[in-house]
Structure 1
Amino acid sequence: MSHESPLIQSLRTAVAAAPTDVPLRLHLAELLLGEGLSDAAVSEAAVALQHAPGDAGARALMVRAMEMPAPEAPQGPAAPAPTGFDWRAAEDQVKDAVPPRFVTSETPEAPVPVAGQGDPGDAAVWEVDTPGSVTLADVGGMQEIKDRLEAAFLAPMRNPELGRLYGKSLRGGLLMYGPPGCGKTFIARAVAGELGASFMSVSINDVLDMWMGNSERNMHEVFETARRQAPCVLFLDEVDALGAKRSRMHHGGMRNTVNQLLTELDGVDGANEGVFVLAATNVPWDVDIALRRPGRLDRTLLVLPPDAPAREAILRYHLRDRPIESVDLGKLVKVTEDLSGADLAHLCESASERALLDSTRTGTVRMINMKDLLAAAKEVRPSTDPWFASARNVAMFANEGGMYDELLAYLKRKRKL
């Protein structure tokens, strides 16, 4: 400190004797700043701020001292050129007394997403299948269903002139209902293949969104995509979830989604020309009645467990790549009445497991035989029974407008009433 003036040295002695005297320390800092000793002035101002954090004079002095340019380095061959004030060193020196001037977060806070303000490129891409090779010829049996589909969709499509003559539009909707596992989705794909139309399958997971208004927008985009791909079969899977009865809903957002579905089905100004809406449900009594209004899903089709020709085709399909011997399909078809398509697939899987387990126990690989299949048929119970138990009450006591007449006739024929 030999370069300091006698006055500064005297003040240092006074400050050391009275370290809490803030005005005296600031006076010392002013003198240091006047002598060009900015670093020393910063140190004194920092100590003053420790004793008086809110002192405006101390803060102002600190700023002036930190902004003063550094003194020129002594001349010499090894002296580096000055590069400006070292802010980081100054902040380290006074960090305990003065909070940092600039704070940079290491992990910037993510913006809160706002519905409707996303990047258009992030919009959901709806999967549309090109016309497939599966047609109604690949659906075994079920001739009555094929005839109904022919009248509803296929004949007008194949003969547009005849359709116009009879005023038959190429738009419309059909609701398929029945017990689970009976091939409603496969039939919808077969219709698309028969028409040579694109196929688009939509479920509730594709439409529902947590943000208000996005579910309705998704529903609109689904139909817009189908219209652009016309002719297109739009398959609404589990439509009881997408179009449940609004009277039972307690959430306004879901009611709005059902309203949007109704609007899209109406297809104002013929917008749905060439869009064939097929819907499937296991619980048609839970579907909003407005969906079945004429011009929407105005036709219904009961898809029952596969008949004998259909069961034979299904069994043949699921056994085609398995090692079998001496299988009497005719006998197997007779003992599998009332089983759904899914039940028949499970039967074939169970028979395969029996043969595989026996092969591992004996150490000799053997084929799947009729004994395995009949044993599996005894174990597999029709998964459709619980559905018919529920549907029977609805068909008997809530058959409004004769919607379930076909189901009643089937239950009488099977003596399940």
Structure 2
Amino acid sequence: MADDQVLTDMLTMLDRSPEVLALRVCVIELLIERERYADALAHCGTALGHEPGNTQVLALMTRCTTALSGGAPTPAATSVAAPATSASGSAAAQPDFDWAAAEDEVGDIIEPAFVHGVPTEFVTDDDAATVERPTLRLADVGGMAEVKQQLDLTLLGPLRNPELAAAFGTSARGGLLLYGPPGCGKTFLASAVAGELGANFYPIEITDILDIYTGASERNVHSIFEMARRNAPCVLFLDEVDALGHKRSQMQASTTMRTVVNQLLTEMDSATHSNEGVFVLGATNHPWDVDVALRRPGRFDRMIFVGLPDLAARSSILHYHLRDRPVAGIDLNALAAHTDGLSGADLAHVCTTATQLAMADSMRSGEVRPIGMADVRAALAQIRPSTGAWFESARNVVEFANGDGSYDELATYLRRMKRR
């Protein structure tokens, strides 16, 4: 029954954040475990609509279609949320699991820093497998001058000048929340911040935390923060914070997710844990859905808006995605000028589509034909901005839910972009 509640909770979260692919994959895996192949297949189709060609989703779709056609389902790859099953296929009760025996059998074979369903004390720490040391710097991020300036003022400046920060009674304690439309480089910026600080980078997604067993998700949150503390200085990056730290007032029926939010609050609270050298960065498309307690002083008390890429950023993104492909006659400045309103993900899609057009022509002729401006223009004619729905929601928030001024920066941006 507890497992069914977890699935219900995840489906509810998915309704609120349908674009979170990692969460949808987790739901698909849980549906397959319950032999609900038709439901899982429907979610596979939705996932592929968001990210065509995703190999993990395609593999899950193959399992569903095989099972529905009467064949034996192909064995699952190691899943972050796969429970032990009984001979009848139902989930085995957690209390019957012999953790001591598991420790003896697993030994040093398990490589991930934490494995869902297994208490962290039974897992070999391999921090290098999950903690990165990026060489990226903010100077490597094209454009986005305003965002860089705010990062320098609110985070990097105090860290570089601790005596000066102390004199003015300020510090870089707490967390920083990057928010804005999807596909605009929030993760990329977080990695660049870690590189700028010379710190380790520890990126976390919701599937790294959620688990079907009672109490395991909370243990995973604690393990993540403990690993960040061991690897300080460390930038702990929590992606899709709205899905993980959703408003508890909207989750009365979901005790599982409420306790996860409570654990996250406890770990970020300087009164209960020493997070010296751990800089918590979060990213979300919907900050208005984040629990208010997570946005209080000492937690995510500062927010920076990351909007659509500007002209310099668009030119940099286009160059990045075309750099290792055969091109001829590509005018990046002209393309950047004609792609206003597209997100970074949209621009990557344009480059991929243009590449496919040139490759299809090359296969017909038998000779490699470089990607040209005609291919990119044809790709642009097929692709529309993916952020329209986000801006509709953002406009409503600015108009009707900005009484405390939290979204004044967003309001200014919407006026400047003539979206309000």
Report the CA distance between 1:338 and its aligned residue: 0.9
- 2:208 matched to 1:181? no
Identity %: 56
* Structure 2 equivalent of residue 152 of structure 1: 154
Asked if structure 2 preserves the Cα contact closer than 8 Å seen for 1:236 and 1:279, the reply is yes
* Structure 2 equivalent of residue 122 of structure 1: 123
* Structure 2 equivalent of residue 375 of structure 1: 378
* Structure 1 equivalent of residue 345 of structure 2: 342
The structure having more radius of gyration, on CA atoms, is 1
In structure 1, distance between residues paired with 2:402 and 2:190: 26
Q: Relative to structure 2, which stretch is displaced further, 206-215 or 241-250?
A: 206-215
Structure 2 unpaired stretches of 5+: 1-86, 104-120
> Could you say if the C-alpha distance between residues 151 and 166 of structure 1 is closer, same or farther in structure 2, counting changes exceeding 3 Å?
same
Deviations 1:281-309 (A, max 9, x none): 11111111111111110111111110000
What letter is aligned with 2:362? Answer: S
Q: 1:221 aligns with which of 209, 220, 223?
A: 223
Asked if structure 1 preserves the Cα contact closer than 8 Å seen for 2:184 and 2:307, the reply is yes
Asked if structure 2 preserves the Cα contact closer than 8 Å seen for 1:230 and 1:275, the reply is yes
Report the CA distance between 1:122 and its aligned residue: 3.1
Alignment of 1:10-409 (within 5 A): 113-114=94-95, 117=99, 119=103, 120-122=121-123, 127-249=129-251, 250-268=253-271, 271-409=274-412
What letter is aligned with 1:121? Answer: F
What letter is aligned with 1:122? Answer: V
Asked if structure 1 preserves the Cα contact closer than 8 Å seen for 2:317 and 2:347, the reply is yes
Instruction: Give the TM-score of the pair, scaled to structure 1.
Output: 0.70
What letter is aligned with 2:321? Answer: H
Asked if structure 2 preserves the Cα contact closer than 8 Å seen for 1:201 and 1:237, the reply is yes
What letter is aligned with 2:179? Answer: Y
Asked if structure 2 preserves the Cα contact closer than 8 Å seen for 1:239 and 1:287, the reply is yes
Asked if structure 2 preserves the Cα contact closer than 8 Å seen for 1:170 and 1:275, the reply is no
What letter is aligned with 1:337? Answer: D
* Structure 1 equivalent of residue 33 of structure 2: none
> Could you say if the C-alpha distance between residues 125 and 282 of structure 1 is closer, same or farther in structure 2, counting changes exceeding 3 Å?
farther
Deviations 1:374-410 (A, max 9, x none): 1211221111111111211111111131111111112
* Structure 1 equivalent of residue 39 of structure 2: none
In structure 2, distance between residues paired with 1:158 and 1:276: 14
Report the CA distance between 1:364 and its aligned residue: 4.0
What letter is aligned with 2:394? Answer: A
Asked if structure 2 preserves the Cα contact closer than 8 Å seen for 1:230 and 1:274, the reply is yes
In structure 2, distance between residues paired with 1:116 and 1:292: 40
Asked if structure 2 preserves the Cα contact closer than 8 Å seen for 1:170 and 1:273, the reply is no
In structure 2, distance between residues paired with 1:142 and 1:113: 49
Asked if structure 1 preserves the Cα contact closer than 8 Å seen for 2:266 and 2:272, the reply is no
> Could you say if the C-alpha distance between residues 376 and 232 of structure 1 is closer, same or farther in structure 2, counting changes exceeding 3 Å?
same
What letter is aligned with 1:356? Answer: M
Deviations 1:38-68 (A, max 9, x none): xxxxxxxxxxxxxxxxxxxxxxxxxxxxxxx
Structure 1 unpaired stretches of 5+: 1-106
Q: Relative to structure 2, which stretch is displaced further, 260-269 or 230-239?
A: 260-269
> Could you say if the C-alpha distance between residues 255 and 317 of structure 1 is closer, same or farther in structure 2, counting changes exceeding 3 Å?
same
Asked if structure 2 preserves the Cα contact closer than 8 Å seen for 1:335 and 1:377, the reply is no
In structure 2, distance between residues paired with 1:227 and 1:116: 30
Deviations 1:120-149 (A, max 9, x none): 323786654242111111110001100111
In structure 2, distance between residues paired with 1:209 and 1:270: 23
What letter is aligned with 2:199? Answer: A
Report the CA distance between 1:170 and its aligned residue: 4.0
Asked if structure 1 preserves the Cα contact closer than 8 Å seen for 2:247 and 2:291, the reply is yes
What letter is aligned with 1:151? Answer: L
Asked if structure 1 preserves the Cα contact closer than 8 Å seen for 2:154 and 2:172, the reply is no
In structure 1, distance between residues paired with 2:298 and 2:371: 51
Report the CA distance between 1:162 and its aligned residue: 2.2
In structure 2, distance between residues paired with 1:270 and 1:113: 29
Report the CA distance between 1:200 and its aligned residue: 0.8
What letter is aligned with 1:173? Answer: G
Asked if structure 1 preserves the Cα contact closer than 8 Å seen for 2:343 and 2:387, the reply is yes
Report the CA distance between 1:362 and its aligned residue: 3.4
Q: Relative to structure 2, which stretch is displaced further, 312-321 or 152-161?
A: 152-161
* Structure 1 equivalent of residue 66 of structure 2: none
In structure 2, distance between residues paired with 1:376 and 1:297: 39
Report the CA distance between 1:240 and its aligned residue: 0.9
SS in 2 for 1:395: helix
RMSD of equivalent CA atoms = 2.2
Report the count of equivalent residues.
309
In structure 2, distance between residues paired with 1:116 and 1:136: 48
